[in-house]
Homo-oligomer: A and B are copies of this chain.
Amino acid sequence: MTNVYIHGIGMTKFGKLESSLKELLLEASTEALNDAGRPKIDAVFVGNFMGGSISNQEILGALIANDLGLGYIPSTKVEGACASGGIAFRQGILGILSGEYETVLVAGVEKMKHASTPDVTQAINSAMDTSSTEKHAGLTFPGFFGVLANRYFYETGATKEHLARVALKNRENGVRNPLAQFPKPTSLEEILAARMITDPLGLFDCSPMTDGAAAIVISRKKSPIHVRSSSQVSGPTQMQDAVDLLSIPAIGESGRLAYEKAGLGPEDIDVIEIHDCFSMTEIIATEELGFFNRLEGWKAVEEGRTKVTGDKPVNTSGGLLSRGHPIGATGIAQLYQLVRQLRGNAANQVANNPRLALAQNLGGTGSYSTVHILERV
């Protein structure tokens, strides 16, 4: 129980966009402020990862405060690799819990499509430990999750088709989400035949580069959407520190903490947004968060349990794979989708008036994970 409530949400279209980093940030923030009824804002937090490296633009906090005329309020950019958005959201919550702020704007943004692929890849690799042998050996993110997938196949009997089913589900959801990056339907056959990125991960198993922003207004004042709990953890920064290749302990720890604080368990959650940076990651995360038994997430995929119509709908937005993955915005975009689910007007609205929703945002290969549980009150 945080006694922090969500008052407004905003999100740009995700994809390849003409707008600058700042314009995206202001667009999503303005929409969230309007949705919240233009309250007085006491502080701003922004999640962003590579504004400095590929857009030569930092000071995103001050740009919002200044350009939206919010006054001399505190503003802060927060970085935690791909979990920057979820971490920014948590800092906003802490600011309210501290008693220093009543109402806070949290935004997340990334602009990636204007830069060359090598430049973006290099910027992404700053989410690894530069001193590690792994990085210099070329074990970058697709490599890491590819190794993990092969081991998962070996241990469980799952196949590349299970990964493809995750990608297909998220694409089907994305096609029905007007803000998602990929409007084009695809088929299991196309996904299976797509060019290989890192064995066994093909093109559709990997999240894309994306431009986009999302924003959210939270307050101590009540609203129909309560942030039931918030957790953030750090984990191993290198694969060689992993005790078990088929576990991403940061996800499990962040889930355990969030459930404990909420007094809830995975069985209580109605709708879920998970950090599917790769199709494999979604399966592992559903296990780490306790929705399915360890090494059985692939069976849940086979049974359709994570579809919009399933008992544990995962990534009804299209997820990172098909909604897109503008890094700093992703954690906030997850919350945007869940708030719409709880309000009952989401793309891919799930049935039976969902009441409890969970968002999990991952950074690096498990260096960071945040979990937020929202409830309709």
Contacts and interface: CB of A to CB of B under 8 A. Distances in A.
Interface of A: 20-22, 44, 49-53, 55-59, 61-63, 65-67, 70, 72-81, 87, 90-91, 93-95, 97-100, 122-123, 125-131, 232-238, 241, 249-250, 253, 363-364, 367-368
A79 B94 contact: no
Nearest to A23: B131
A122 B44 CA distance: 26
Given A59-B126, A66-B235, A94-B94, 13 more contacts: A52-B126, A57-B130, A59-B80, A59-B363, A62-B80, A62-B367, A65-B234, A66-B237, A72-B253, A74-B90, A75-B80, A94-B95, A95-B98
B234 A75 contact: yes
A310 B70 CA distance: 39
Contacts of A126: 51-52, 55-59
Given A50-B52, A66-B241, A98-B97, A78 B75 contact: no
Contact of A72 (B74, B100, B234): B234
- Each complex incorporates copies of this chain amounting to 2
Contact of A130 (B49, B55, B125): B55
Nearest to A254: B72
Nearest to A96: B98
A62 B368 contact: yes
A27 to B, nearest CB: 14
B127 A59 contact: yes
17 contacts: A44-B234, A52-B52, A52-B53, A59-B237, A62-B363, A62-B368, A65-B234, A66-B235, A66-B236, A72-B250, A74-B90, A74-B234, A75-B80, A76-B80, A76-B232, A78-B79, A97-B99
Among all A-B residue pairs, the 7 with the closest Cβ atoms: A97-B98, A62-B367, A65-B234, A74-B232, A77-B79, A72-B233, A94-B98
Contacts of A79: 52, 58-59, 76-79
B80 A80 contact: no
A12 to B, nearest CB: 17
Contacts of A67: 237
Contacts of A44: 234
Contacts of A241: 66
Given A52-B53, A52-B123, A75-B368, A130 B62 contact: no
B59 A129 contact: yes
A25 to B, nearest CB: 11
A56 B122 contact: yes
A51, A56, A122: which has the most chain B beta carbons within 10 Å? A56
A280 to B, nearest CB: 21
Given A77-B80, A234-B72, A59 B367 contact: yes
Contacts of A81: 58-59, 62
Nearest to A232: B74
A253 B63 CA distance: 18
Contact of A97 (B55, B65, B100, B122): B100
A277 to B, nearest CB: 15
